[in-house]
Chain A
């Protein structure tokens, strides 16, 4: 029994079919609990007023936007090294989800920044890095949809993902160098004493769990879709030949 068993598409579909309902229900539960808790039952921050409620969307979305890219990087590596199709398709399935989360993080950030910093947008390192991350997502998805041959597309996008990761990191440091920001430091880290107050912290944790579960559920579902679409294409191609 090893994780590579799930590289078999049939096995992957069968297993995820069994897990998917549970994950989806858990995701909806966590999201609803976290957001309702955060929205209705937390006090206003003494400085930020009610805008502090935006944190329950902004932080988890930003977190998952980065994690989605990391997951794509890992699956791309697995595809390059071990050539499991499910891995490549999972990377493809995750990209639009990650891009959507990036947009959510940017949009909620802008809406929060307007009353707090007095501007929708500032060329702050963090904001700029996220915008660049979004551009990378766009390029990645565009390349996937432009190439017809499935294997070629998987190969090329994996390499783009690797090279893109290096350049995304470079951009991150370049942007830091280029402009010192007004964004506050990380709002959650495990080793820091100074953290978000507990009242905001617990609903935030639930929301993060909800976003993670939502991401997992969507990636499972979309990977299944990609596997099926690929099989349809293969069958059609064989039909055309005979």
Chain B
């Protein structure tokens, strides 16, 4: 399992798309928002937590179709399926690799981008915490979507239609934590809910993804 994780990470680094593309996209979205809504500091600092969350979510979405696509094309996915590793394990590792290459850089970059949006000082910690807790859920849910659309020629658009509604609860609680944190309110309830969603999806969704992948490889 660790070998598979290392292989995925190495491939992502070598292909160059993994780290860079998602981050660049995140940066561009955050830069475009003030152009759209105006440079007024008060407004920006109020919407900053939400914008950071939406940006991270979209950047995450962007790289989802790469989770299985390359392995599907060169047939290594079939090899993995016949390997002694259980399919659930493969799926979890894939999600983990996606999180390390996409989610983690987004989490670390978010405070820096918060400066651009004049995020209030009390918000940095909670943006960081909520993203760190929420992005694993985004990766796991995204892996499910990627498994659903793996064999399809033009799966990209379908993938976003399938995955975005599933992102709703994570986004709501995640952005709520960040918003309340920025405004200095109590964050405990949404934080617990967010953690619940993350751990729940992490525990249960790999089974669904594995089932879907088995069907697609049939």
Contacts and interface: CB of A to CB of B under 8 A. Distances in A.
Interface of A: 132, 135-136, 138-139, 142-143, 146-147, 152, 155-156, 159-160, 162-164, 167, 170-171, 173-175, 177-178
A132 B161 CA distance: 12
A147 B218 CA distance: 14
Interface string B11-29: 0000000000000000000
A167 B190 contact: no
B211 A159 contact: yes
Given A156-B148, A156-B216, A170-B197, A143 B158 contact: yes
Interface residues of B, number: 28
A174 B193 contact: yes
Given A171-B168, A177-B193, A152 B152 contact: no
Interface string B162-198: 1011101100110010000000000001100100010
A167 B166 contact: yes
Contact of A156 (B165, B172, B190, B215): B215
Given A152-B215, A152-B216, A160 B169 contact: no
Given A164-B166, A177-B190, 11 more contacts: A132-B165, A139-B161, A139-B162, A146-B155, A146-B158, A152-B215, A155-B212, A160-B162, A163-B166, A174-B169, A177-B189
B165 A160 contact: no
Contacts of A147: 151-152
B205 interface: yes
Contacts of B165: 132, 135-136, 139, 164, 167, 171
Nearest to A166: B204
B176 A146 contact: no
A233 to B, nearest CB: 18
B158 A142 contact: yes
- Kindly list the 8 A-B residue pairs having the minimum CB-CB distance in the complex, ordered from nearest: A174-B169, A135-B165, A174-B172, A170-B169, A155-B215, A171-B168, A139-B162, A167-B166
16 contacts: A139-B162, A143-B149, A143-B162, A146-B152, A146-B158, A147-B151, A156-B148, A156-B216, A162-B208, A163-B166, A170-B197, A171-B165, A173-B169, A174-B168, A174-B172, A175-B172
Contact of B168 (A143, A162, A163, A167): A167
A175 B144 CA distance: 23
Candidate in B165, B193, B205 with the most chain A CB atoms within 10 angstroms? B165
B212 A159 contact: yes
A132 B168 contact: yes
A132 B164 CA distance: 10
Nearest to B167: A167
B87 to A, nearest CB: 14
Given A152-B216, A163-B144, A142 B168 contact: no
Given A152-B218, A159-B208, A163-B208, A143 B148 contact: yes
A236 to B, nearest CB: 22
B169 A167 contact: yes
Given A142-B161, A143-B162, A147-B152, A156 B212 contact: yes
Contacts of A174: 168-169, 172-173, 193
A172 to B, nearest CB: 9
